[in-house]
Amino acid sequence: MAPLIISAVPTPFDDDLRIDRDAFVELLERLPDDHADVLVAGTTGEFPALERAERDQLVDLAVDVLGPDRVVAHVGAGSLYEAHRLAEHATSSGVRRVALLTPYYLPADDRQVVEHAHSFAAAHPELQVFPYLFPDRTGVEVGAATFRALMEPVNVAGAKLSGRANDDFATFAGLIRPDQALYTGDDSRLPVIRADGGAGVVSGCFAAAPELMLRHRDDQVEIRRIVGLLGPSIARQKLALRLASGRPWRSRMSLPVITTDVTGEIAALVEQAHRLG
């Protein structure tokens, strides 16, 4: 069965804004053994702020700690050329699952979106490819007919929906093959995702509070409270990790300021998680 939770792990930076390898390893080692699948260098991982070599480095670190079977490498990039290079490195590291963001920044029509995914899948038949739909960030809206076409290649193993793509979750769930897995990036759907026809959640919040989310994973009210406090916000998730670990957990990208009140609530959440841990 597909994993219920895949952690979309954030990328830790030190005070000089370099990747903090020790903090990243510490984060990975903290994940519960039976919920340790990770998506590396995704949106939560601030991939637009990473060089290709840094994305490769993060994949290698995750493979070293968790093994290649637990790692999903995000290979979405501003060009298909770059996505191929990232995929080649992931493959050489033993990774077999990759997430591929749709084209972004420049407008793309339905034909281009499908060709982007199909040409990538054809070039990497050894990989399980998960198209990644995030219209709020890419500007690319995918309707039912385009989604059905995206999912046609035999090595397209599923898809991830983030933001308003989740408005079509029920429709898309009805269009996938039995061997494909549909994931949501909406952490608040954790208690109901399998009842809704999904495989699980690619969670930005889980790595910041795994104990709490597992304790309350069937409690819709409590999950919404935790997720409402931590996400979708890289700044809040990194604050929680900074408070929990004592490491800098800086960000390269511009993020909103967190108010004093919210900081206090997150500190209380971290303390609650610490008691459970």
Residue among 81, 104, 105, 132 flagged as catalytic: 132
Which residue type, as a one-letter code, is found at position 226?
I
Q: What six digits make up the tokens of 139?
A: 């500007």
Q: What six digits make up the tokens of 131?
A: 């198209």
Q: How many CB atoms sit inside 10 A of residue 144's CB? A: 12
How far apart, in whole angstroms, are the C-alpha atoms of residue 236 and residue 24? 17
Q: Is 160 a catalytic residue?
A: yes
Phi first, then psi, for residue 38 (nearest 5°) are -135, 145
Helix 234-245 to helix 220-230 angle (10° resolution) is 90
User: Which own/partner pairs from 196-200 qualify as long-range (CB within 8 Å, at least 24 positions apart)?
Assistant: 196/169, 196/170, 197/169, 197/170, 197/173, 198/169, 198/173, 199/2, 199/3, 199/4, 199/158, 200/2, 200/3, 200/4, 200/5, 200/6
Q: Is 132 a catalytic residue?
A: yes
Give me the helices (H) in 36-109, please: 52-66, 80-92
> Is the peptide bond prior to 3 cis by the omega test (within 30 degrees of 0)?
no
Beta bridge partners of 39: 8, 72
Residue among 105, 160, 183, 238 flagged as catalytic: 160
Instruction: List residues with catalytic annotation.
Output: 132, 160
